[in-house]
Amino acid sequence: MTETATAAPVGRGHEGAARKRILDAAADLFYSHGIRGTSADRIIEAAGITKVTFYRHFRTKTDLAVAYLEQQAAAERGAFDAARADVDPAGALQNIARLIGTMSCLPGFRGCAFINAAAETPDADDPVRVVVDAHRTWTRDMFAGIAAAAQVPDPDKTARQLLMLRDGAMVGGYLGEPDEISDTLQAAYLDALAAARS
Helices 40-47 + 12-33 axis angle, to 10? 130
pLDDT 10s digits, 111-129? 899 999 999 999 999 999 9
Instruction: Please tell me the distance from the alpha carbon of residue 66 to that of residue 121, in angstroms, as a whole number.
Output: 12
Instruction: Please tell me the distance from the alpha carbon of residue 92 to that of residue 78, in angstroms, as a whole number.
Output: 14
Q: What is the pLDDT confidence band of residue 163, given thresholds at 50, 70 and 90?
A: very high
pLDDT 10s digits, 35-58? 999 999 999 999 999 999 999 999
pLDDT 10s digits, 95-113? 999 999 888 878 888 889 9
Please say if the pLDDT value at position 1 is more than 80: no
Please say if the pLDDT value at position 170 is more than 90: no
Instruction: Please tell me the distance from the alpha carbon of residue 190 to that of residue 167, in angstroms, as a whole number.
Output: 16
Cβ-Cβ contacts under 8 Å for 148 (sequence gap 6 or more) = 155
Cβ-Cβ contacts under 8 Å for 66 (sequence gap 6 or more) = 127, 128, 131
- Mean predicted confidence (pLDDT) in 154-163: 97
- Alpha-helical runs (H) found in the chain: 3-6, 12-33, 40-47, 51-57, 61-84, 89-103, 113-120, 127-149, 155-172, 178-197
Please say if the pLDDT value at position 11 is more than 60: no
The whole-model pTM stands at 0.86
